[in-house]
Amino acid sequence: MPDLTDRIDRLEKAIMELVYVQHKTEMEIQNLKREMKEFKDAIQKDTENLKEEFKEFKNEMREFKNEMKEFKNRMDKEVKRMNKQWGELANKMGTIVEDIIFPATRPVIRKYFRCDPIDLMMNVERKRDSRREEFDVVAVCEDKVFLIEVKSTLRQEHIGQVKENAERFKELFPEYKDKELILILGTLSIKRELFNQLTKEGIYGMAYREWKYMDILNFEELHRKNRKDH
């Protein structure tokens, strides 16, 4: 009987240990569940906070973009106003060549004709026999020479004068006979009908583009015309 009693005692002890382990495991599971819930709640709260912060950030960025757009619009208007006033002042003082056209010549030629002028001259005079001629701006590249005639207010008759000046230029500057002669008429603004006439006559028109900066306004049109003619 002692053996049986010992075996019963051991069995009871084993059951008690099993119950204890099971109870401890259930407690640990409950604790784990609680911790998981707390973690999930914290994650959800953080996510909501992040969503709210991101929403606020998007709103701030939208406001910033709107402010930058308004600032750019104000700056564009100011640039246009200043350029127009500067053009009018240069026109009145007779300094449109020096103040507006000449400084814009090199960057415009670089942009559209892919060449950097070797020589860039203003108010170029040439005398031959009893003839004396003056040309507003002359720019010389490796294989091209640019003759830029400047008019404060562009009129129809000026277009024909540019063609005539080109012939006189060829006569007076024979050293450029092997270079392509490109004619540019520089002014402050160009009316639509004169814009079309310039393109028809093969003359580039350089003026303010919407009063923002000096540019060749009919480059694409004249480029297409030249390709079609050839």
* Phi and psi at residue 179, to the nearest 5°: -100, 150
Last residue of a domain, one of 70, 93, 116: 93
Q: Quick one: 62 and 131 in the same domain?
A: no
Q: Quick one: 81 and 134 in the same domain?
A: no
Contact (Cβ atoms closer than 8 angstroms) between residue 207 and residue 215 = yes
* DSSP designation for 211: T
Q: Quick one: 59 and 78 in the same domain?
A: yes
- pLDDT for 12 equals 67
Instruction: State which residues form the domain around 22.
Output: 1-93
- pLDDT for 173 equals 93
Tens-place pLDDT, residues 199-222: 999 999 999 998 889 999 999 998
Q: Quick one: 98 and 210 in the same domain?
A: yes
The model carries a pTM of: 0.70
Q: Quick one: 190 and 79 in the same domain?
A: no
Helical ranges in the chain per DSSP H: 2-93, 96, 102-113, 156-172, 192-200, 219-229
Tens-place pLDDT, residues 147-197: 999 998 899 999 999 999 999 999 999 999 999 999 999 999 998 889 999
CATH number at residue 182: 3.40.1350
Tokens representing 106 are 């090199």
Contact (Cβ atoms closer than 8 angstroms) between residue 121 and residue 105 = no
Q: Quick one: 116 and 188 in the same domain?
A: yes
Q: Quick one: 139 and 218 in the same domain?
A: yes
Number of folded domains that form the chain: 2
Q: Half-sphere exposure of 99 toward its Cβ, with a 13 Å CA cutoff?
A: 16
Q: Quick one: 213 and 105 in the same domain?
A: yes
